[in-house]
Amino acid sequence: MYDVIQDINQWVRQNEPVVLATVASTWGSSPRKVGAKMAFTPSGKITGSVSGGCIEGAVYEAGLHTLETQRMELLRFGVADETAFEVGLACGGQIEVFVQPLDKQFFHVIQSEMDALHSLVIGTVIEGPKNLTGRQILFTELDPMMVENPANFEEAARLQAQETLSAGRSKTALLNLGTGETTRVFFDVILPPPTLIMVGGVHISIALATIAKALGYRTIIIDPRGAFGNQTRFPHVDQLIQEWPQEALQHIKLTRSTAVAMLTHDPKIDDPALKIVFDSPAFFIGALGSRKTQAARRQRLLADGIPSEQLDRIHGPVGIDLGSETPEEIALSVMAEIVAVSHSLRP
């Protein structure tokens, strides 16, 4: 959703009708994963994609029809091997895409939760009784919300939504809503965009921030030392905080989409930051330094009462061994490990 939300916002402000198309399932090798989105308007504005090929023309036409009927449609595209590449599949298979008019009220609720960096699951009935098809419910990591939904939908969907959010992967599930008909619900997981927090405005951080931003990460530098953490050195980061880590991290939401790298070699800066991020859901905690430095850090933190299982979360010496020598090469190795760990967490 994050890749299309800015364009949708602009169209909504211009009072244009918007259609949202979402990939519900794929079979075979697809360039767009389940949950991928494409949004468009009757005036021909398009953002995002649901495939790498010609099915998007059919999706666009179906979307215009949903604006007329104000009803969601589930589209299925069966693809033969000889034509698969044309529609974005490397081999034969099937793609399911549901298209629906954008509910602007519901969209604003979703956007508010996304702005707060909450993890979300949107449940949409994509197949089942006519009175339920197209109905949606929003679950956040905090509390569930309902928008024009019957209570039995909420109860049946709650556990599935929690399981899906925990797995961090969108999916379609069959639910028994007590209607006697099979009901398919698509659970769309929307996680906060990845964030890289760099503790220490060192030379490596300059290159690391550049690489991270190129990969779609929000970048934050924390350093109380004015000579290191200043705007002249870091004009390209999203946020620069000139405070001690124990103060700065109180104002930053750490999520399971957050990576943190300790880069100063200074225990007065790195250690307090580590003590805070250990209690967070951050998916990556890395620390620069040799194996000797790592061993000394571990002993200090053990002596301060940090459990060994917490210390085991540290990736250190941080970075994949590329034989790196320059700050730019070290930054590349650090980012490579962050990316590798992020992918290993995906089911």
* Pairing of β 183-190 and β 171-175: antiparallel
CA dist list (Å): 198 to 280, 318, 331: 16, 12, 11
d(CA 144, CA 120): 9
- The answer to whether 182 and 128 are in contact (CB under 8 A) is yes
**Predicted local distance difference test score (pLDDT) of residue 28:** 66
Looking at residues 116-134, what average pLDDT do you find? 89
Least Cα distance to 284 among 229, 177, 172, 208 occurs for: 208
The H-or-E segment that residue 101 falls in is strand 93-101
Written as one letter, the residue type at 341 is: V
Looking at residues 56-82, what average pLDDT do you find? 86
- Identify the DSSP state of 156: H
What's the pLDDT tens digit per position in 249-265?
998 989 888 999 999 98
- Provide the pLDDT confidence category of residue 185 given band limits of 50, 70 and 90: very high
Structure tokens belonging to residue 204? 């490596």
Q: Given CATH 3.40.50.720, say whether it is the number of domain 195-344.
A: yes
Looking at residues 178-195, what average pLDDT do you find? 85
**Range in 22-26, 77-81, 286-290, 325-329 with the lowest mean pLDDT:** 77-81
**Predicted local distance difference test score (pLDDT) of residue 81:** 46
**Range in 23-27, 220-224, 256-260, 296-300 with the lowest mean pLDDT:** 23-27
**Predicted local distance difference test score (pLDDT) of residue 310:** 93
**Predicted local distance difference test score (pLDDT) of residue 86:** 53
- The answer to whether 121 and 161 are in contact (CB under 8 A) is yes
Mean pLDDT of the chain: 88
Give the percent of the chain with pLDDT over 70.
88
- Taking residue 158's Cβ as centre, other Cβ atoms within 10 Å add up to 15
- The answer to whether 128 and 183 are in contact (CB under 8 A) is yes
* Pairing of β 195-199 and β 258-262: parallel
Looking at residues 25-45, what average pLDDT do you find? 86
Q: Rounded to the nearest 5 degrees, what angle is found at the Cα of 302, between the Cα atoms of 298 and 304?
A: 120
- The answer to whether 37 and 56 are in contact (CB under 8 A) is no
The H-or-E segment that residue 206 falls in is helix 203-214
- Provide the pLDDT confidence category of residue 105 given band limits of 50, 70 and 90: very high
Is the pLDDT at 19 greater than 90? The verdict is yes
**Predicted local distance difference test score (pLDDT) of residue 346:** 53
Looking at residues 14-21, what average pLDDT do you find? 96
**Cβ neighbours of residue 98 under 8 Å, at least 6 residues apart?**
21, 22, 24, 72, 73, 74, 75, 124, 126, 186
- Provide the pLDDT confidence category of residue 7 given band limits of 50, 70 and 90: very high
- Provide the pLDDT confidence category of residue 33 given band limits of 50, 70 and 90: confident
Structure tokens belonging to residue 129? 């009784």
Give the percent of the chain with pLDDT over 90.
64
Give ranges for CATH 3.40.50.720 in the chain. Answer: 195-344
Is the pLDDT at 48 greater than 50? The verdict is yes
Looking at residues 69-98, what average pLDDT do you find? 71
- Provide the pLDDT confidence category of residue 80 given band limits of 50, 70 and 90: low
d(CA 48, CA 288): 38
What's the pLDDT tens digit per position in 190-208?
988 899 999 999 999 999 9
Is the pLDDT at 8 greater than 60? The verdict is yes
DSSP character string of 248-260: HGGGS---TTEEE
Q: Which of 6-15, 31-40, 113-122 has the highest average model confidence (pLDDT)?
A: 6-15
Is the pLDDT at 318 greater than 70? The verdict is yes
- The answer to whether 261 and 288 are in contact (CB under 8 A) is yes
**Predicted local distance difference test score (pLDDT) of residue 67:** 95
**Predicted local distance difference test score (pLDDT) of residue 53:** 64
Residues in the chain: 347
